Structure 1
Amino acid sequence: MTDFLASIVGSESLLVGTVIPFLFVLTVVVFVHEMGHYLVGRWCGIGVNAFSIGFGPELVGFTDRRGTRWKLCAIPLGGYVKFVGDMNATSTPDAEEIDKLSPAERRIAFHTQPVWKRALTVVAGPMFNFLLTIAVFAVFFSVYGRVVSEPMVAEVRAGTPAAAAGFMPGDRFVTVDGHQIETFDDVRRFVSGRTGDPLVFVMLRDGKEIELKATPEVMEQEDALGNKVKVGVIGVVNSQELGQPRIITYSVPGALAEAVRQTGQSLERIGNFLKRFAVGREDKCQLGGPIKIAKMSGQAANLGFEMLVQLVAGLSLGIGFLNLLPIPPLDGGHLVFYAVEAAIGRPVSERAMEMVYRVGFLMVLGFMGFVFWNDLFGC
């Protein structure tokens, strides 16, 4: 009996070790995203019928004094805010349904608002995801600081692009492809996502700057959670002696500024990865769906609450970025329609919106199917 209970509720069980961390990670990210829509929408004077975490049948909920139904639903793979006047899942306007609204409802309906209010409400979701990431980074930087190493070459591995290019121990990185280098992590950041791209390295050797060219090659490594990932490397190694690792401490404003900078760099990496992925230059197994997220949540939880929070920050950043892609029914797709509306002075026709939303919806379904396939069979 003891073994049976341990298999269900023990720390190594599926429930406690994977499901609960997964629900924690996803719920926090979704809640923050939808809260962005809700808070800015309310600030803009838009009425809210429902705020839901999850889809499907309602498990628990309550209605507040403003008439908003707050609920937790059975399928915890997302969430939504239903504004007054939202008649369908894609939030496209329906003239007949809007005509059925009372005058009071029409004043606070989403689709009767100026285009800038609608755009601000839509973009608030991804922006709140970015703010969550910045907040997590800022707390970690202010509490723990940041470990950095000098961008020095301690060893050049034989048979690597660096060896072929003429890198030597004692060289110091100055720039990589025109980007200034301050720490060895900067080198990793610029190289890891550029497999197959010829890069120009400016190195400091014996007090003189020299230019070397190398093309990163793919190498399988372990990430912080122990998963195998493929990254670009040139084959140089840092060391404690030459790298002289140290901890940079930050004041609260300094930690916030560094958090913003790191978040911007992470967004740039995500964008570069997706561009390379679209043309077949990245490993498809780098993308995963709910099953991979659940696995990573369990791994992070085993390493401690701090690692789980870092996973929340990373996932929040990714969700925010993906939602800004200009594909209906994502937030970015809505923003494209609002931009067109602002440019031509009238809303896009319902027929045109419906056609585009159908195509976009099929694209989103195709992507979801792809990552599910990766989770189950592809990787």
Structure 2
Amino acid sequence: MDLMQFVPMFGNFAFMIAAFVVALSVIVAIHEYGHYIVGRWCGIHAEVFSLGFGPVLFSRKDKRGTEWQIAALPLGGFVKFLGDANAASVGSDGSVAEVDMRRTMLGAPLWARVATVAAGPIFNFVLAIAIFAGSIMYQGRAVTPVTFGELRDLPPSYTTELQPGDVFLAIEGFPFDDPDREDMLIDLLPLEERLEYLVERDGAEVIAEGPFLMPTAVASVVPRSAADDANIRVGDVITAVDGQGIFAFTQLQELVLAAEGAPLELTLWRDGRELTVTLEPRATDEPRPGGTFERVYRIGIGGQFFFDAQTEAIGPVEAVGLGAESLWNLLTTSLSALQHMIVGQISTCNLSGPVGIAETSGSMAEQGARSFIWFIGALSAAVGLMNLFPIPVLDGGHLMFYAYEAVARRKPSEKAVQVFMFVGLTLILSLMMFTILNDTLFCP
């Protein structure tokens, strides 16, 4: 047996695990730091801040008496506050004198406990907004009206008479920007390899020839999709499907839908070379306006125009607003998807567990730093949302107990808390086992 054949496989696995650990460590560190810093502001003392579980690899005690440590199992983290019986801040270890109870989680006022617990998910949301805003600022915004920048990296057959600075007015007689148009411009254009573009150049209207507006160039690859499994990369250009030449992204979409999951042979252009891959389109539940979902066949790629448009800078204030809007859209879509999964309207394959998240981490890291950082933001938003679910052992479960305390004017009994915590832990472990089976057996 040639052991060298396993080297690439091991390398990919190690890269995937490394990407997963980095993404999870960043998100957990921000989450737990939220608990720590707000707790400190509220007068609650943290004894331990741990990144990871298990045997301690490194630790250091700061001037406030908090032990900062990195543990061997990088699958989470915790903040243990003064007097806590465990890392989940459930119960007291009975070692704190009455005079110091105000510095414990159990002895702090209700408002301080609520703020401290809620800070974890809130910090996750803040991280997501910061990443989304940073990505928006880095990418910029296409100037209005859309202006030609430069031709993308495409096969030599993709030539154009367009010049940098040309302002798009119309394509084949269809206005480029029409606020009253109901159909997308791409659906109105004739399926021809060469189109006529009406542009404004140096104050005059000029007709210039160019390729189809949206060719079959790969702008993005969905992690764990058919395209991802077939090793299709960003920048590839799909030139044929089952030997049939194509030049428009709409042609590719129609052939994928018509296949209804049957295998397709794709011919790719990559860095001047021609490659062939075979893949099977997969049924995908896609969100639609109004909170509904539609099941369609996809291979998991996104398209783009044949050119880079000229861009303008976006200020930090506007970028933060757009980042918050992106977070809101992500959270509402996630909740809608979860609701549709519970009632059986969409597949539970849309739910990823540790295995799926690890695979996605590796895939996004392979696509580059920008994609990986954006993924960290999206995952941070998901972790923040999940922690707000009213399930004991999660932050939302603690907030549920505090809501009861605020209404009943007394804390729930320790026995009741322990029972609910056991139920919550059982639910979380059951969900984790289900998602692992989902990732490995039911929806690999």
TM-score by length of 1: 0.74
Decide whether aligned partners of structure 1 residues 223 and 352 sit closer, same or farther in structure 2, where only a CA change above 3 A counts: farther
* Residues 1:219 and 2:297 aligned together: yes
1:319 corresponds in structure 2 to: 383
Q: What one-letter code is carried by the residue in structure 1 that aligns with 2:72?
A: A
Equivalent residue, structure 2, for 1:29: 27
Cα pair distance change 1:109/1:376, threshold 3 Å: same
Distance 1:248-1:340 versus aligned 2 partners, 3 A rule: farther
Please say if 1:14 is aligned against 2:13: yes
CA displacement at 1:245 relative to structure 2: 7.9
Shift of 1:255: 0.6
Q: Please identify which structure carries the higher helix content.
A: 1
User: Cα distance, 1:107 vs. partner?
Assistant: 2.8
8 Å contact 1:141–1:249 — kept in the other structure? no
Residue 366 of structure 2 corresponds to which residue in structure 1?
Answer: 302
Q: How does 1:162-201 map to 2 (within 5 A)?
A: 190-191=288-289, 194-195=292-293
Alignment partner, residue 283 of structure 1? 347
The gaps in structure 1 that reach 5 residues or longer are 161-187, 196-215, 225-237
Deviations 1:167-222 (A, max 9, x none): xxxxxxxxxxxxxxxxxxxxx86349622xxxxxxxxxxxxxxxxxxxx4433341
Which residue number in structure 2 is paired with residue 152 of structure 1?
183
Shift of residue 83, structure 1, vs aligned partner? 0.5
Shift of 1:103: 3.7
**Who is 1:59 aligned against?**
57
Q: Which has the larger radius of gyration?
A: 2
Deviation, 1:301, is 1.5
- Counterpart of 2:106 in structure 1 is 111
Q: Structure 2 residue aligned with 1:134, among 126, 129, 132?
A: 129
Distance 1:375 1:308 in 2: 21
Contact preservation (8 Å) 1:326, 1:335: yes
The residue number in structure 2 matching 1:124 is: 119
Q: Which amino acid aligns with 2:382?
A: G
Q: What residue in structure 1 maps to residue 149 of structure 2?
A: none
Give SS of 1:110's match: coil
Shift of 1:248: 6.8
8 Å contact from structure 1 (residues 90, 357) kept in 2: no
The answer as to whether partners of 1:30 and 1:78 remain within 8 angstroms in 2 is yes
Return the alpha-carbon distance in structure 2 between the equivalents of residues 376 and 49 of structure 1.
39
Deviation at 1:300, TM superposition (A): 1.3
Letter in 2 for 1:299: S
Corresponding residue for residue 317 of structure 2 = 253
Deviations 1:69-112 (A, max 9, x none): 11111211111100112113442234xx44x3124532311100
Q: Cα 1:138–1:360, aligned 2, differ >3 Å: closer, same or farther?
A: same
Hey, what does 2:97 align to over in structure 1? 102
1:277 deviates by 1.3
- Structure 2: unaligned runs, 5 residues or longer: 147-175, 189-249, 255-285
Q: Residue by residue, what CA displacement relative to the aligned partner does 1:225-249 show, whole Å, maximum 9, x if unpaired?
A: xxxxxxxxxxxxx9969xx988575
CA–CA distance in structure 1, aligned partners of residues 438 and 421 of structure 2: 25
For residues 27-60 of structure 1, the C-alpha deviation after alignment (integer angstroms, 9 at most, x for no partner) is: 0011011010001001101011111111111122
Q: Match of 2:90, SS?
A: coil
Q: Which deviations, in whole Å up to 9, do the C-alpha atoms of 1:337-359 show, x marking residues without a partner?
A: 10110111111111222222221
Paired-residue identity, %: 35
**Which residue is 1:180 aligned to?**
none
Instruction: Indicate the SS of the match to 1:266.
Output: helix
1:335 maps to a residue whose letter is: L
Q: In the alignment, what sits opposite 1:355?
A: 419
User: d(CA) in 2 for partners of 1:310 and 1:79?
Assistant: 22
Count of residues in correspondence between the two structures: 309
Q: 1:299 to 1:39 in 2, by over 3 A?
A: same
Residues 55/223 of structure 1: CA separation in 2 closer, same or farther (3 Å cut): farther
Q: What amino acid maps onto 1:87 in structure 2?
A: A
Change in CA separation of 1:337 and 1:254 when aligned onto 2, cut-off 3 Å:
same
1:8 deviation in Å?
Answer: 8.1
Partner of 1:200: none
CA contact (8 A) 2:16 2:359 kept: yes
- Provide the residue aligned with 2:441 in structure 1: 377
- In 2 relative to 1, CA 239–155 (structure 1 residues): closer, same or farther, beyond 3 Å? farther
**CA RMSD of superposed structures (Å):** 3.1
2:80 and 2:88 in contact (8 A); partners too = no
2:66 paired residue number:
68
SS in 2 for 1:65: coil
Whether the aligned pair in 2 keeps the contact of 1:44 and 1:117 (CA below 8 Å) is: yes
Whichever residue aligns with residue 109 of structure 1, its letter is T
Q: Does structure 2 conserve the Cα–Cα contact (< 8 Å) formed by 1:36 and 1:124?
A: yes
| Structure 2 length-normalised TM | 0.63
Match of 1:270 in 2: 334
